[in-house]
Amino acid sequence: MSAMAAPAEAAASNRILEIRDLNLSLRDDHGWVQVLNDVSFSVRPNEILGMVGESGSGKSMTALSILRLHAKRDAQLSGQIQFDGHNLATASEGRMRRIRGRHVSMIFQEPMSALDPVFTVGEQIAETVRRHFGVSRKEAFERAVAALDSVGIASPRTCAGLYPMALSGGMRQRVMIAMALVCEPKLLLADEPTTALDVTIQAQIMDLLLELAQKTGTSVLLITHDLGLVAETCDRVITMYAGQIVEEGRVRDVISNPQHPYTAGLMRSIPDAHRPRGGLSSIAGRVPSFRNMPEGCRFRPRCEFVEAACSQTQRLTETGGHLVRCHRARQLSLEGAPA
Amino acid sequence: MKLPAATVKDLHVTFGGTVRAVDGVTFTVEDGEIFGVIGESGSGKSTLGRCLVCLINPSDGEVRHRDVDPFALSRRQLNRHRRRCQMVSQDPNAALDPRMTILQSLCEPLNIAGIGSREKRREKAYEMLDRVSLAAEFANRYPHELSGGQKQRVNIARALMLDPELIVCDEVVAALDVSIQADMLNLFSRLKDELKLTYVFISHDLRVVSHISDRVAVMYFGTIVELGPAREVMDRPLHPYTEALGSAEPKLAADAAERRGRIILQGEIPNSAKPPTGCRFHTRCPRAEARCSGEVPATRELMPGRYVACHFAEEMLARHSDTTTIRPGDNGARAATAQPVELRHDGRA
């Protein structure tokens, strides 16, 4: 990964998004706490980039940082988020408003909480169009209907007049996708877009999402806890743990040859009819609290391969074809999925 | 041999006279078995589970716990009978009172049932905490101080307080991270062995159900479309719906060929007030033919212990025997039977 090239030029040429040393601190009742630690990665044109990790690993925080959706008073952002020639970490609020929904849009896990219950879905999609393109109400509504049609809703005009509560979970998520892609953004942040859905509906939605992204030339950052989903849909994958990137590489490489014990642990935890009952290997313990982060490798307290040297700071280095934050990566041969 | 832990015969549950949530379901849950129920939302699996623990009255048909018909009992007798069948549900937050300590929550079932002295109840609570691998100091904490996985452990401990025989687990791991999920599944199988429990394990997640269950029932629109030993049903599905569920499940080892062969079901479960005629699945079924919309397929036992309700089950069985031996873990065998099918979104072919 030649990600260390001059960021500004790289962003202009073959990177949609270039994030350098992103640090995020949030404030709660007990003071400030750092939740993202030197996160650096980039998204290429037309790429589907997966981001996996448990709850609390910092996946959603990364996405929210890109759109600067944290409350200003309670969040401190540092580092570079280069997008379209601007550093989103320091861009003005006015610039952010022009970017959100137009050039970078986001889909959330629970569509019901992202849709406004007192407006019809047609009105909500049209609002996005009007804000960014300044077209007439009528024209915006027509574009909303066209967007609903493009996400495979059988009678888009009727659907446009419905309130979110009248729709099923799968339909709501289709509406969210229509809204996110109506302005043909360059980058779509999809945060667990199918987690709340049945597996058959998940397959429909993922298919639709990928097809539309390809059509509009949109790159996708797919945040999920489901490594299977990543294996099937993404080009590259990033594993996050406790606010840091611990592994990054091409999906096939990572899945068939995981280098970080955490990635391997996530893969082995997936239940399977062919593993003996009661014999699932899980990852002991849980994600440490950000106030109580262990020194050195943050995964150390849960890692089965821990040794004394693990208490030293671990760097993300290239090992076996991808980036890994584990000094033992070369010595371990971790079980992957058959390629 | 002991009587089955639960026997369900032609069970119907109707809401408001029109919505048939469970529509003629028959099965037995053997003593000491883990019986899995898979289905999408709206398939009636939770209603079935609630009916099994007597939280909903059936509109028709029969539920028996061993030789007892719980719905024939007097109110007083039923309340006493309830101790034998408990339920653990999906949302660990909703199931715990935020103003009660974990110890109080655990003792509550015993208080209500009037079992044991205060001392004995607390002793039992600590024993159950230990069983679910929670340290004793959790007893004096409040739910908000616990993580999702820990809360779910408390719920399990509480379900165990009355020494039940049958536990209905309704989407118990759905809200948990995959590593915590693995821990919980291991815990469930350990408790089953230690306490000689019988589970009905309800989930929409094929991987979870097929991993933990001895036998599974696949539900669609209030009916069981396929029933059989878990591994068999996963590896050689005999109903197009089961096949589609397995195919839709994201797989780590998926390759491009398999992805192309994947069956993507179009549409969603139809409106429950207006069930489709004939086979309920025909509106979304990739194999549907004319007879499917007219004729309800009978449930047949195609192999010992394997029940299917589909007009084409025999064909599917024949094709499975053609694909020679199926190696364990071989997903390719399943993909080979999957024909890419294009359907319009409204579900009509």
DSSP string, A108-168: -S-HHHHS-TTS-HHHHHHHHHHHHH---HHHHHHHHHHHHHHTT-SSHHHHHTS-GGGS-
Contact A191, B241 (CB under 8 A): no
- Please choose, from the candidates B14, B252, B100, the residue with its C-alpha nearest in 3D space to the C-alpha of residue A251: B252
Residue A188 to residue A176: CA distance in whole angstroms: 12
Domains contained in chain A, CATH given = 7-234 (3.40.50.300), 251-324 (no CATH)
Residue A118 to residue A111: CA distance in whole angstroms: 14
Contact B48, B37 (CB under 8 A): yes
Percentage of the residues of chain B whose pLDDT score is greater than 90: 67
Residue B251 to residue A230: CA distance in whole angstroms: 9
Surface-to-core class of residue B113, CB atoms within 10 Å of its CB (0-12 exposed, 13-18 middle, 19+ buried): middle
- Chain B nearest CA to A234, separation (Å): 12
CB proximity under 8 Å: A 203-242 to B: 203-204, 207, 225-229, 231-232
Contact A337 B211 (CB under 8 A): no
**Testing the interface with B: which of A29, A148, A199 to mutate, by most B Cβ within 10 A?**
A199
Contact B186, B201 (CB under 8 A): no
Chain A residues with beta carbon closer than 8 angstroms to that of B193 = 278
**Testing the interface with B: which of A48, A112, A174, A200 to mutate, by most B Cβ within 10 A?**
A200
Residue A315 to residue A259: CA distance in whole angstroms: 14
**B18 and A CB contact within 8 Å:** no
Question: Would you tell me which CATH number, out of the four given (1.10.150.120, 3.40.50.1400, 3.10.110.10, 3.40.50.300), belongs to the domain B6-218?
Answer: 3.40.50.300
pLDDT at A286: 76
Q: CATH 3.40.50.300: which residues of chain B?
A: 6-218
Q: What is the ipTM of this complex?
A: 0.78
- Chain B nearest CA to A149, separation (Å): 11
Tell me if the pTM is above 0.95.
Answer: no
- Distances from the Cα of A216 to the Cαs of A211, B133, B237, B260, in angstroms? 9, 51, 38, 22
CB proximity under 8 Å: B 194-253 to A: 204-208, 210-212, 230-231, 234-235, 244-245, 248-253
- Mean pLDDT is lowest, of A72-76, A170-174, B155-159, B327-331, for B327-331
- Three-state DSSP class for residue A272: coil
Q: What angle do CA B325, B327, B332 make, to 5 degrees?
A: 95
pLDDT at B323: 59
Residue B129 to residue B137: CA distance in whole angstroms: 10
Ranges assigned E (strand) in B94-240: 166-170, 198-203, 215-220, 223-229
DSSP secondary structure of A13-63: HT-SEEEEEEEEEEEETTEEEEEEEEEEEEE-TT-EEEEE--TTSSHHHHH
Comparison of pLDDT for A335 and B344, the residue scoring more: A335
Residue A248 to residue A271: CA distance in whole angstroms: 24
Percentage of the residues of chain A whose pLDDT score is greater than 90: 63
Chain B residues with beta carbon closer than 8 angstroms to that of A203 = 248, 262, 264-265
Residue B53 to residue B70: CA distance in whole angstroms: 9
Q: Report chain A's C-alpha Rg in angstroms.
A: 21
Chain A residues with beta carbon closer than 8 angstroms to that of B202 = none
Surface-to-core class of residue B194, CB atoms within 10 Å of its CB (0-12 exposed, 13-18 middle, 19+ buried): exposed
**A75 and B CB contact within 8 Å:** no
Task: List, for residues B161-193, the tens digit of each pLDDT value.
Answer: 999 999 999 999 887 888 888 889 999 999 999
